[in-house]
Amino acid sequence: MSTQIQEFAKRLKLSWIREHYQEIEATSNEEYLLKLFEKEIEQREERKTNLLLTQASLPKVNGKPFDWKDIVLTAGLSSEDLLNGVFMEQQENLIFYGGVGAGKTYLATLIGLNAIQRYGKAVKFYTAASLVNRLLEANEKGNLNKLFKQIEKLDLLILDELGYIPLHKQGAELLFQVISMCYETKSIIITTNLQFGQWNHVFGDPILTEAVIDRLIHHSHLIVFKGDSYRYKESIIQN
């Protein structure tokens, strides 16, 4: 009988039940079934979360609580809202602006982690440069559509370090396509060290820059990171 149970569980894709059904103790049929279902669901959710985490390629975090002291939030958006990804409910965007080491990447990563772990959202982290490279490469190989489809499935796209390197014409245009594709259908977090007035240096072309900013700013929150470099502060404290 047990081989048949295992066979049926396999056909029904109940992998936890297939391996562990004998370990469950219960005093009634109902309780037994309930416990089986509970465990199966629990394991499925865990697997889904792990998959989402792998796909997101978020940077590692050190587990330190986030220090909000030097972060300027927009009205009506609390730090809790940010961490809970409330902006994602309306497909709004976040622009993180500030100097190096002020916590932009760290906060974007924490928001991404929460979105996955608390809400099962699909997240992807790229540096702007790495996404542009992927886009150019995919375009050259003729599988741009495949990459676009992957991006289309996301709830949250994190674009880190926009502005550190100027983009070539084609790269800028492809990045614009991605930003347009995300417009009003998903959320983007962009971290940057450049004010909007200087984005021209990244995108190269004033019309394209205006179009990018237009799509991003509409439905977005600007968060300013005013702190000095945290790494620098910590290295002073430690020495």
Ligand X SMILES: Nc1ncnc2c1ncn2[C@@H]1O[C@H](COP(=O)(O)OP(=O)(O)O)[C@@H](O)[C@H]1O
Site residues for Mg ion per CB under 5 A: 105
CA distance 94 to 18: 44
Q: Please check whether residue 225 is in contact with residue 96, taking contact to mean a CB–CB distance below 8 angstroms.
A: yes
> Which residues make Cβ contacts (< 8 Å) with residue 222, sequence separation at least 6?
74, 95, 97
Contact between 104 and ligand X per CB under 6 A: yes
Phi then psi for residue 228, to 5 deg, are -75, 170
Nearer of residues 105 and 220 to Mg ion, judged by Cβ: 105
For residue 225, the cross-strand partners are 71, 98
Report the partner that residue 182 touches, choosing among ligand X, Mg ion, none (CB closer than 5 to 8 A by kind): none
* Least CB distance to ligand X at residue 103 (A): 3
Which of ligand X, Mg ion, none sits in contact with 132, Cβ below 5 to 8 A by type? none
Residue with smaller CB distance to ligand X, 40 or 160: 160
SS3 76: coil
- Interaction pattern, residues 164-193, with ligand X; x per rule: CB under 6 A: ---------------------------x--
CB nearer to Mg ion: give 133 or 170: 133
Residue nearest to ligand X (CB): 103
* Residue 30 buriedness (CB in 10 A; 0-12 / 13-18 / 19+): exposed
Q: Of 83-91, 95-103, 140-148, 209-217, which part binds ligand X (CB under 6 A)? A: 95-103
CA R_g for the chain: 22
67 binds, among Mg ion, ligand X, none (CB under 5 to 8 A by kind): ligand X
Determine if residue 142 is left, alpha or beta; phi over 0 gives left, psi from -120 to 50 gives alpha, anything else beta.
left
Q: CA nearest 174: which of 205, 223, 206, 133?
A: 133
Chain-centroid distance, C-alpha 228: 25
- Residue 112 touching ligand X (CB under 6 A): no
Determine if 105 is a binding residue for ligand X (CB under 6 A). Answer: yes
Residue 66 in the binding site for ligand X (CB under 6 A): yes
Of 40, 82, 97, 103, which one interacts with ligand X (CB under 6 A)? 103
List the structure tokens of 105: 């990447």
Q: Does residue 119 interact with ligand X by CB under 6 A?
A: no
180 vs 221: CA distance, rounded Å: 17
Q: Which of 100, 110, 136, 211 is the binder for ligand X (CB under 6 A)? A: 100
- Which residue, chain included where needed, has tokens 């050190």? 62
Report, in Å, the least distance between residue 238 CB and ligand X: 13
Site for ligand X, rule CB under 6 A: 62, 64, 66-67, 98, 100-106, 191, 225, 230-231
